[in-house]
Homo-oligomer: A and B are copies of this chain.
């Protein structure tokens, strides 16, 4: 018999947030499989969260759930913790991108607001975590994302690299040798509609990049 470990309310809220970022409501089933819990358990928890003193979710039978403002605040708080922790573990303890997630997952629930402030300040209040995800602000707003995949740019458009989204460290190293790192400025000089290849000029080099690369590099148009 599998030991059934208990899921925190914070985890419920965080996962509802993620499932509802697209504007839709989260289904009982989706939440259940995301949290490795049976659907019936989710129903029970949703009923509880919906009737909490300040309600944390909006819940109607068979209609899925969304977060209330209070629920969203709580979710963003955990997400802020998580992403600040990831950034900080990478910066100060040399964690790699793949190792850092599990550790942050555990720490995010227990750190104090004071701890949060200290690491945020120590890093100069970063905007993104090491995976490139936006970090909710101290007043619990999710910042607007002003970046777009490089693959969406066309000839004559230029941009500044914001972050690189990949879990493949080999690929990451390749990006670095090409100069494709945050802050770098580039200009698109050509576009091939057939295979979606882009020709870009970065520094004094001109290179051709496939969609497998340009879809992982996020830029801010300039």
Chain A residues in the interface with B (C-beta under 8 A): 92-95, 99, 102-103, 106-107, 109-112, 114-115, 118-119, 122
Contacts and interface: CB of A to CB of B under 8 A. Distances in A.
A102 to B, nearest CB: 7
B103 A119 contact: no
B114 A107 contact: no
Contacts of A109: 110
Given A92-B92, A93-B119, A119-B93, A114 B103 contact: yes
A61 to B, nearest CB: 29
B103 A111 contact: yes
A106 B110 contact: yes
A102 B115 CA distance: 11
What is the interface of chain A mostly: helix, strand, loop, or mixed?
Answer: helix
Contacts of A119: 93
B99 A106 contact: no
A9 to B, nearest CB: 14
Given A107-B110, A110-B107, A110-B110, A118 B102 contact: no
Contacts of A114: 99, 103
Copies of this subunit: 2
Scoring A106, A119, A122 by chain B CB atoms within 10 A of each residue's CB, the highest score goes to: A106
22 contacts: A92-B92, A92-B122, A93-B115, A93-B118, A93-B119, A93-B122, A94-B118, A95-B118, A99-B114, A102-B112, A103-B111, A103-B112, A103-B114, A103-B115, A106-B110, A106-B111, A106-B112, A107-B107, A107-B110, A107-B111, A109-B110, A110-B110
A103 B107 CA distance: 11
A93 B114 CA distance: 10
Contacts of A102: 112
A103 B112 CA distance: 7
Contacts of A118: 93-95
Nearest to A117: B93
Nearest to A122: B93
Scoring A93, A99, A106, A122 by chain B CB atoms within 10 A of each residue's CB, the highest score goes to: A93
A33 to B, nearest CB: 25
